[in-house]
Structure 1
Amino acid sequence: MQIFRHIPTTLQQPCALAIGNFDGMHLGHQALLARLTESAKSLNLTSAVMTFEPHPREFFTPESAPARLSSLREKLEHFKEAGVEQAYVCRFNRRFAKVTPQEFMQIILRDALNAQAILVGEDFRFGALRAGSTLDFLEAKFNLVSLPQVNLNGERVSSTRVRNALAAGHLQEAASLLKRPYSISGNVVHGAKRGRALGFPTANVHMRHERPALTGVYAVKLDGLNSVANLGIRPTIAGVQKLSLEVHVLDFKGDLYGKHVHVEFLHKIRNEMKFDSLDALKAQISADVTVAREFFM
């Protein structure tokens, strides 16, 4: 899959283009990408996706923006798995926010990307002040595929619904909305080795964003290995409170440093807690490991 981190200055090969934030890659996103690859094949076009970094709400209102479900790398991995041939990552900044719907359609979609078909959700808005809608695409004579909302158990599937399920600890509901367990990926980096000192060595997974959709202690799988993870700020440890994802892989003796890993969240064990002493913390970690082992039996 080709990845473009800027809008090309020369006209590209004709493409079918799906546009959106694609945060979480839920059932609705999956339906859109399936339709994209189908349409591109039938029209003999390149299949392409346009997404935005950062999320527009992170740019406009960072203090109240929703928790991120996917890092950019994770989104790109999903695009590739879906069979997308090209991905355009648009840097959402003040300049981009001022682009009018008409400029977006003519200068970017037509003159640069050579988009012959546009695929979006039925409520898609675009351009400065979100003034553009699917009606603008139709008036501009684009070949438009506007997908209706996808429902699950009588309710609309959305990134917000996924976030709410994760925040409530309803991992099975989130997995149903995603058609897979919710996961976070990142590189394993060196930490303070506190877990090792407590008898529970951990893989410290680098977090791309400081506001995750879930926190607490979980039974997880790290690249398929049964594990227990803590995602939070480690309130018992003195010092700077910084978000961390620490994963203790059960019965594992290998070296994970420097590897890019995927952590699947399968079962919530408890909320993050502050303990009076490291001995109390160690006892609780031991209990958490027992719960995780029972879950995987």
Structure 2
Amino acid sequence: MKLIRGLQNLTTYAGSVVTIGNFDGVHIGHQKIISQLVKKSKELGLPSVLISFSPTPQRFFSHEQASLSSFKEKHHLLDKLGLDTHLIIRFNQAFSQLEAQIFAQEILLNKLNMKYCLIGDDFRFGKKRKGGFESLQNLSKDQDFTVEQTPSILCNNHRISSSEIRKLLANANIQSASKMLGREFSITGKIIHGLKNGRSIGFPTINIPIKRKISPVYGIFAVTIDLDGATYQGVCSVGNRPIIGDKKTLLEVFLFDFNQQVYGLEAKIIFKHKIRDERNFNDFKALKQQIELDVQNAKDYLTN
């Protein structure tokens, strides 16, 4: 899949099929849209183009929310779905003021020469979110393209959406969130050096930076870890480590029966079960006692 960063790097297409959105988490609703787009791409013999935005419009307008996937994770998930091109548009002040009709004409039609557009039933675009399925449908009457929208998909009588998955994860309903994602929820990143406080109390951890401003999960979890071609079990903490006064969100994992140097390697942390919320402790002795309980709880869950 070709990655195009910014409209300045976009060349004129002879024709394309297009979908547009944030696609955070690439859940099964997104997968349905992309599958249909790829099918149409093959039918028409035209390249498929997925358009997303950086930062997201929500973040740009200071409506910050947790991200289900980092950019790297999202791009990797999209790459496995058969798309030809991922176009990332820089969402800035100038772009936020672009009228919906101008966006459609100048980018979708003039640059991408769009012949087919597929969007979700909640998609809005353009200044003040005035554009949507109806405006594209009206434009298609005078232009050489067709537009379709996909209906919502339900899971356990709930509409599948990134916002619903965030709620489920925040409420520790990991299994339901995973059903909507179409895979187990995970966070991937490279292992970095930490402060090594865990080592001093007998629980050395691997440390992974959270590549998002707000994590979708916080607390202590039973997890499995895919690392260097093998899978391990462990207990994971996602939070700010209040005992040392840290304010930066960090993911730390204590791996069971593990003693290897793995700095710089990429690890995939797969969340299985939430054990408890993060909380402060008076000293490292109290923290160690709690970690011992957490480890036992994680082992009990993972072996059942």
Report the TM-score when normalising by structure 2. 0.93
2: distance between equivalents of 1:275 and 1:210? 25
How far has the Cα of 1:210 moved from its partner? 2.7
2: distance between equivalents of 1:54 and 1:173? 28
How far has the Cα of 1:38 moved from its partner? 1.1
How far has the Cα of 1:107 moved from its partner? 1.0
2: distance between equivalents of 1:205 and 1:248? 12
Partner of 1:226: 233
Partner SS state of residue 262, structure 1: strand
Segments of 5+ residues of structure 2 without an aligned counterpart are none
Of residues 262, 279, 282, the one that matches 1:276 is 282
How far has the Cα of 1:14 moved from its partner? 2.1
Length, aligned pairs only: 294
Residue pair 1:13, 1:46 contacting (<8 A) in 2 also: no
Matched, 1:217 2:220: yes
Residue pair 2:4, 2:10 contacting (<8 A) in 1 also: no
Residues 95-110 of structure 1 aligned to structure 2 (within 5 Å):
95-110=94-109
Superposed CA offset, 1:133-175 (max 9, x none)? 1111112213112101111122211111101110111111111
How far has the Cα of 1:70 moved from its partner? 1.2
How far has the Cα of 1:259 moved from its partner? 1.6
Residues 1-297 of structure 1 aligned to structure 2 (within 5 Å):
1-7=1-7, 8-61=9-62, 64-141=63-140, 142-223=145-226, 224-237=231-244, 239-297=245-303
Which stretch of structure 1 is more off in the superposition, 120-129 or 254-263?
A: 254-263
How far has the Cα of 1:13 moved from its partner? 4.3
2: distance between equivalents of 1:45 and 1:9? 16
Partner SS state of residue 164, structure 1: helix
Question: CA 1:295 to 1:60, structure 2 compared with 1: closer, same or farther past 3 Å?
Answer: same
How far has the Cα of 1:9 moved from its partner? 4.7
Residue pair 1:101, 1:132 contacting (<8 A) in 2 also: yes
Runs of 4+ more than 6 Å apart: none
How far has the Cα of 1:12 moved from its partner? 2.2
RMSD: 1.3
How far has the Cα of 1:200 moved from its partner? 1.2
Residue pair 1:236, 1:274 contacting (<8 A) in 2 also: yes
